[in-house]
Structure 1
Amino acid sequence: MTGRGQRAEGDGAGRRLPATRGRARMTTRKNVVLISFDDAVSYWHYRSVFGVPLQTPNLDRICAEATVFDAAYCQAPICGPSRASFMSGKAPPQTGIYDNTVDVFDRVAPEDIWTRRLRDAGWFCSSGGKVHHGYTPLKRRHHGRIYSDRQKRFDADTSLPPEADLVKFGGHRGGKATADPAHDASYYDHQVADSAIEFLTTYDGDAPFYREVGFYSPHGPHYTPARFKEMYDEAAFVPPADWDAGWPEDLFIRERVPPRDLLEEGRAKWWRKSVRNYFSAMTHGDYHLGRVWEALMASPHADNTLVLIVADHGFHLGDRNRFSKFTLFDQVGRVPFILWDPARRQGQRVSDPVALLDLGPTVLDHLGLSPIEGSPGRSLRPLCDGARAPERAVPTFSNDGIAVRHGRYRLIRYADGSTQFFDLETDFWQQRDLGQGHPDYAATLAALERTAHEHGAA
């Protein structure tokens, strides 16, 4: 099935990919499927924090036999810079990209995207949805220098067909939903999943493949088929009791990313609707992930394909009186990072802090390819094999400053020089600034400064 405007799969020359006829030409070189979510929190920390279980059955079953990096951090708290970083293997200070106004290919050559290394080494590289920034395909002159097949177009959720019977559930960005299942195929994620399923079902080339599956969910406006919103009882959502204590506000970030009175009298209902919208969007994305997963498991490629699942950054879901991204707090910095290896189908969690920037080096290491020159990213393969990570400060950069996760601590230093210092093991929501007098502050600040230099920051 193809959605409105979706182009058929091909090999870049307009030809259809050959059918498998129930088999695949196996190679000792593994295939790779990269799945990305958009604005997805490290969902396991939100399993029941609002009194309503977040339903992600497909992520759960994959994680049961995968390596889950429990403390993975993006290198930028906004889509474009983060994706430019993890797809180039370079940190924001190296690319010079800190906001969505700069296109990655104004600063990074297509040949310097790490997936191009796979193509040069003989992999068939196939796009499919939002992995680089933007819901439309890359410009043809860039696409052709990275991928082996042709461009594919999918319809953004903001362009649902005018004949769709939309129901408004309220909350953040309106909470629109389609009532008729006949319109399910209008959603971006449905079309992306259809395209990936077709590829996995039909690919029978001699070369190993790299396939992208870039989902829209749970990015706003959180539109879904109505049944996904109806899975959640709006009235049952409750803010964590910890939130009653409030949050320390730095004056610099308060001006840059102002808080809102989300939970004041008369606003609590809006917050509940908003979290319901986000949860339903996460579950909608998980549903389509499950469709792709089933297709992979039923294909001849199941025993020879690495699967990596990531998100570009997290999101504030009412904490700090914000329903947004953009900040340097843990809720935006921490992301899902999951690696499923058919040779190691045993679930494990890695608590050592790692970087989203490690994605490219990790894939290249698993495939036996050379590392990215000049990348501060590290291969996580040793951690998959049970090793502990060396002590490391993992950074997140923005126009507002830099934050690092170092051991149990998160230190934020803003552009005006002010800082906030938190113990994440005892203070998940970062409500108690430990201050510069804490005995571990100086060592953490030194780690931040060293890490900033290593990642190209002045």
Structure 2
Amino acid sequence: MNVVYVHTHDTGKYIKPYGKQVPTPNLFSFAQEALLFSNAFNGSPTCSPSRASFMTGTYPHQNGMMGLAHRGFKLVDFNWHMASFLQSREYETVLCGVQHEHRFWKPLEQGHEAAKELGYTTHLTADMEGYQDSASLAGWDEENALKVVEYVRNRGKSGKPFFLSYGLFTTHREYPELTEEEAEGVYNPNYIEVAHGTFPDEKSRLDMAQFHKSAHIADACFGKVMEVLKEQDLFNETLIIFSTDHGVANPFMKGSLSDAGIGVPLIIRNPEAPASFGRVSDQLVSHLDVFPTICDCLRLEKPGHLEGHSFIEMFQDPYSKTREAVFAETNFHTSYEPARCIRTSRYKYIKYFDGEWTKYNLSNCDESELKERLIQHGWAEKSKEKEYLFDLYFDPAEGKNLVNDSDYDEPLIMMRRALHHWQKETGDPLLDGKLDYSPSWKVNKRSSLKPSSKNPEDYEQWPQD
């Protein structure tokens, strides 16, 4: 089979297949022809670490991507990357759009070099010149969708099987502005529910309305790719995967080990398992499990570095269980914030490891009016607990910390032990104390408020190259 992986930026589960009234009809139609995973989680709720975990089947502290690729973090072994692995198995490996596992996708020449080093044989990505700001990059996504369509049409069924990764910038901030007509029509903010954990008011509704527009554009791009696969009679010869990196770029979502940060959509169509079409699996799965599952679907021997567990049995039986818990971590987004979590079907346990800084790392939250409002009302003075325990049966919104509740002593001990065991088994360097910094990493101070500050005083390290 061919493999097509379509991924968005900062979308969380805010799409129609997950019950949200967000205009994503193509993804909804696709879900009805695929298997939807309702309890899928990433390896880290920040961009490059999440994507590196997906593409290598390993955790950030193992693969080296503990922070953002364009801030100097680097994979320890490019051969671990899915593109490199499939290229060595005689697949044509194709990248179009965003990859965030090595360097950056701009300027274009750097994007070409990075794609080649990751193992891609073909790089289709359009030049970003002419797209002046983040809000305009929805047009770049559309241009890249047309490049994917052209590639599939010209290729047809000839040659090697292919692995195609199509990465969209949407739904990353800044969102596209609404026209007057849109604001009174399909994206009318008056009738839009704000995201989980966001204070509802006029500004929040407008912000979410703009997210809706961004998601709608991403959905249209996804639809173009599905349409050309069907047109070329490749739809039933291709393993198709849709996901995103982490939660929406709101406070307490992206960058957070809450379910709003680590919970991701995962929808997979395995053409060899029609019994799975239109089904939902509620079992726990991790982004790290996708790589070994692809290997099983393609009947390829799994590489030895993988940490995930194949869930190929779920395509025959969605109730099949492959793991008891998932794990995720943070190290850096822009500033140092080492934390680990374990999530079972009932409990979530989070532990922060930086004893020198107990306040929130505000530069690890993307800029928005939602963030500014919280800062104006004292967010910078608030502190995090060292540990959190949540009973998700009674508190799915993760609002009540049970660490000091004696009724939960037994699950707390169990979760602490399980997390520590996972850290030992995976060689987590946090067990030896504070992480050592590479001089090539760009790192904000923990007290910094803005991730993209131009003031050197806001940085612990700012490599000038």
TM-score (norm 2): 0.74
CA distance in 2, matches of 1:32, 1:371: 16
Match of 2:191 among 236, 244, 264: 236
Structure 2 vs 1, CA of residues 415 and 297 (structure 1 numbering), >3 Å: closer, same or farther?
A: same
Question: Which stretch shows the higher mean deviation, 136-145 or 340-349?
Answer: 136-145
Report matched runs for 1:99-114 at 5 Å. Answer: 99-100=67-68, 106-114=74-82
2:266 to 337, 348, 366: 337
Shift of 1:232: 1.8
Contact 1:110–1:142 at 8 Å: present in 2 too? no
Contact 2:80/2:305, CA 8 A, preserved across alignment: no
Match of 1:403 in 2: 341
Aligned counterpart in structure 2 of residue 443 of structure 1, from 382, 396, 414: 414
* Superposed displacement of residue 389, structure 1: 1.8
- Of residues 321, 325, 328, the one that matches 1:393 is 325
Q: Are the equivalent residues in 2 in contact too, given 1:74–1:396 (CA < 8 A)?
A: yes
Q: Which residues of 2 match residues 74-223 of structure 1 at below 5 A?
A: 74-100=42-68, 106-133=74-101, 134-136=104-106, 139-145=111-117, 146-150=119-123, 152-155=125-128, 159=132, 187-204=139-156, 205-223=158-176
Are the counterparts in 2 of residues 70 and 351 from structure 1 also a CA contact under 8 Å? yes
Secondary structure, counterpart of 1:421 in structure 2: strand
Query: Taking structure 1 as reference, are residues 103 and 122 closer, same or farther at Cα in structure 2, changes over 3 Å only?
Result: farther
2:444 maps to none
Q: Residue 306 in 1 paired to residue 239 in 2?
A: yes
SS at match of 1:187: helix
2:445 maps to what in 1?
Answer: none
Give, in whole Å, the separation in 1 of the partners of 2:80 and 2:423. 22
Q: Figure out how many residues of one structure are paired with residues of the other and give that number.
A: 379
Evaluate the alpha carbon distance shift between residue 45 and residue 410 of structure 1 in structure 2; reply closer, same or farther with a 3 A threshold: farther
Secondary structure in 1 matching 2:163: strand
Q: Which runs of 5+ in 1 are unaligned?
A: 1-29, 161-172, 178-184, 244-261
Distance (whole Å) between structure 1 residues aligned to residue 341 and residue 25 of structure 2: 32
Alignment partners' CA distance in 2, 1:290 and 1:189: 12
Q: Whole-Å Cα distance in 2 between the matches of residues 283 and 140 of structure 1?
A: 28
Q: CA RMSD in A?
A: 2.8
Kindly state the Cα deviation for residue 272 of structure 1 after the two structures are TM-superposed. 1.1
SS at match of 2:396: coil
Deviation at 1:150, TM superposition (A): 4.1
State whether residues 33 and 211 of structure 1, in contact with CA within 8 Å, keep that contact through their aligned partners in structure 2: yes
Name the residue aligned to 2:2: 31
Instruction: Please state how far the C-alpha of 1:47 moved relative to its aligned partner.
Output: 5.8
Q: Is the 8 A contact 1:156 1:188 kept in 2?
A: no
Give how far 1:156 is off. 7.6
User: What's the secondary structure of 2:125's corresponding residue?
Assistant: coil
Matched residue SS, 2:190: helix
2:190 is aligned with what amino acid?
Answer: A
1:63 maps to what in 2? 31
Taking every aligned residue pair, what percent have the same amino acid on both sides? 23
Give the letter aligned to residue 398 of structure 1: T
> Matches of 1:225 and 1:298 in 2, distance apart?
33
CA distance in 2, matches of 1:224, 1:369: 46
Change in 2 beyond 3 A, CA 1:271/1:34: same
| Normalised TM-score (structure 1) | 0.75
- Change over 3 Å in CA distance of 1:104–1:210 after alignment to 2: farther
Amino acid at match of 2:401: D
CA deviations 1:304-340 (Å, max 9, x no partner) are 11101111111265xxxx2762111110100011111
Which one of the candidate residues 381, 389, 408 is aligned to 1:421?
389
CA offset at residue 60 of structure 1?
0.8
Structure 1 residue 140: Cα displacement: 4.2
The residue identity in structure 1 corresponding to 2:155 is Y
The one-letter code matched in structure 1 to 2:77 is A
Out of 357, 361, 364, the residue aligned to residue 295 of structure 2 is: 364
Within 1, Cα distance between the matches of 2:166 and 2:176?
A: 19
Q: Which structure 2 residue ranges, 5 or more long, are not aligned?
A: 332-337, 356-385, 432-465
Partner Cα separation in structure 1 for residue 27 and residue 16 of structure 2: 13
Contact map agreement 2:246 2:261 (CA 8 A) in 1 = yes
**Is contact 1:75-1:333 (8 Å) kept?**
yes
